[in-house]
Structure 1
Amino acid sequence: MELLDVQQVQEVAEKIKKQFQAIDSVEEISIIEAVGRVLAHDMVSKEDVPGFHRSTVDGYAVKARNTYGSTESMPTFFHITGSVEMGKDVNQTIQEGQAMYVPTGGMLPEGADAVVMIEDVEVVGDLLNVFEQVAPRENVIFKGEDVYDGEVVLKKGHRLRPQDLGGLAAIGVTKVPVYTKLKVGLLSTGDEIVPPETEELLPGQIRDINGISIAAAVQALGGQIIYGGIVKDQFDQYLSKSQELFQQVDFLILSGGSSMGTKDYTSQVMNQLGSPGVFVHGISIKPGKPTIIANCNGKPVMGLPGHPVSAMVLFELFGRQIMNQLHHVNENPFAKQLRARISRNIASQVGRTDYVRVQLEIRDHELWANPVFGKSGLITNLVKSDGMIEISQYKEGIIAGEWVNVILFS
């Protein structure tokens, strides 16, 4: 039997970078529909936000220097000249020793550079007693302090989050140019695999877990899933179905049949889908060693192990990288990581990168990661996990109490 030609994790990541080119198809959509989509151009503000100096509290607009030395026992006195109305311009200018009431979000009158909170004053007729000094710019957002005219608010390749859409709304953008959704094909393989809706399982049958979990992971990254169903372990049928699905998508994922068993046809199928074909067949990793990745006429095809834990871990590591690369995504590798202490010793094998699922908990005001051990065929290992930690190929393990990076699951 032919053995796997295993490669290191970083080596595989570098090969993926060199193998595939980004897809440049763009469409314009409403920001209401844009969450999870990837920006195709830089978004530049054409105005200042806010467009005027505004108060962040209910209080009185003043010249900050006039409040210096104010205390409860020795307040400073101001003459109240009026009040600011929300949503309206202010045509008065604050002079020395004057104050004007301003509500939260209201425009700051000309001449004022700070606001004294209403809790720190007393009104006596048209006189204001101020019991607390303020510094210049205190309790005020100045014009353009949030966004200035000409500022790049979001860069090309950014995957849009809810807060990003709020930022775009603030600068008057209601439509955004985004890359068209990646079409990702998913085909499940195996004589034992049956649809999830199967009510009664015959002996030896299991429901298709990867067809649901990997599809959901693709959609979480903004991809459009095209599910090809389940194909039996028959080479001609497997090849025919793969070729049909391959023509419809930007990225094809084959679940199962990636090891070196007598009926594991995935690598053979990939090599017939296009050239140069398979460039990864085996990764020095646990779980997920028999993963396959191919370049078929410039299009990525990935063969994931059938075990659900292995499939999810490998998709998170390399399927995500491929999707990001096709979509120009500039993703911060640390954005989905937390620092935590590992709760127990974990042994590892030098020369192999291990990914261990963990469950997070707060203990004594610190974040701890509890390993979730179990075989890669058990989906509940993932259900119980918040993320995973990496044990480098150069380490023999980690020691209880050691700080680790937790890669959060999508």
Structure 2
Amino acid sequence: MNFIYINQNILDNLFYILVSILIYSILLDHGKRLSQYSKTLITACMSIPIILCMKFPIYIDEYCVHDLRQIPFIIGTLYGGWPVGAALLVIILTFRFAFYGFNLLTLIVYIVIFIITALFSSKFKNFNRKNKLNSSILLILFLGILTSFISLVMSDYFRITEAYVFYFIILPPFIIVLAVYIMEILKDAILIRTQMVRLEKMEIVSQLAASISHEVRNPLTVVKGFVQLLKAPDLTQEVKEQYIEHVVRELNSAESIISEYLAFAKPAIKKVDNILINREIGYVIEMIKPLANMNLVNISEQLTPGITRGNIQHFKQCFINLIKNGIEAMPNGGELSIVSYKNNFDIIIEISDNGIGMNKEQINRFGEPYYSCKEKGTGLGSMLAVKTIQTMNGTLNINSVSNKGTTIIVTLPAYHEDYSKK
């Protein structure tokens, strides 16, 4: 044996096999609907290299032509079981006879390969990676020797040469172990990726739960204290009313935290309406002016009429949170500017303050469910705002300089009602 046998045809056959395995793994990973039809998918992906290997074979000498069609055939049967193997057997025989004519020996050889591989596939699936690699080598060596013996018995013209030993006995184990190893690596990568996504979701949920538990516990502790004070027999009616007012305020605070969490946990918009940007933001400004006055913040507005599509209540809550953040960013008072304008395709809303500003890390982490620039903040309001804007197919960008101020730029798709009715 020498390396003169490694020619371009072998590399071509190997290329067809490896690329098909890669395509199969990509489709299985990213196509959620396709994953339901994994057997059909592996049949289609393994049939391509089978056909290409036969179409562009390996020329051993002028009397012998070989290819690596048995590799994808065996891989498909091992991973897909007998249904995939049966489908690939039909494909391999159909194209073999179409390209080179009917041959009884070929028919018997591939039926034998199918039966043995299909019977072994159920055990193969339960092996770990090491055992799969070892068993695949032993399987293809056994099949190579067995089919060679069958060919010697059935054909008077069949000869075992040095080239035959290399191509039929020695080379296939190296190729199948490479193919199985890549299949296993890609399967593990898909599994690890799925587990990482699940762990990230669980981490977010745990962080949210911890944050909400902490924030809700505080007002409930206050409520508990005032309820206990209400038991005192010598309280005047005025004091009782003050205590009750404190209880109601703290309960409203807890309810607000829980509502924001539920809005994030169930972000799907059930009702979609036309949103008049200038009118709805005007309502929000009127609602939040008392808070602005308490914080010595002056709000100026310049709103251009425009229409977008979304849930009105979520839209209002989104801008309440964004404007409230701007007000709270100016603890010593200041100016808050709200401007909206539009172009042919988008409506742009800018909320600018001259408060404490944000650094680069705070900008990058804006909207994370457990991160807030405020000491007592949960980050739920910003998270809800970002999620609402994303659900409306919009974008949110932040320009900020520490101790100079922040501008939040919200871009939403403009809705042209006249065009939509045509």
Class of the TM-score when normalised by the shorter of the 2 chains: under 0.3
Q: Which has the higher contact order (CA 8 A, sep 6+)?
A: 1
Higher strand share: 1
Q: Which has the larger radius of gyration?
A: 2
Normalised to the residue count of structure 1, the TM-score between the two structures is: 0.26
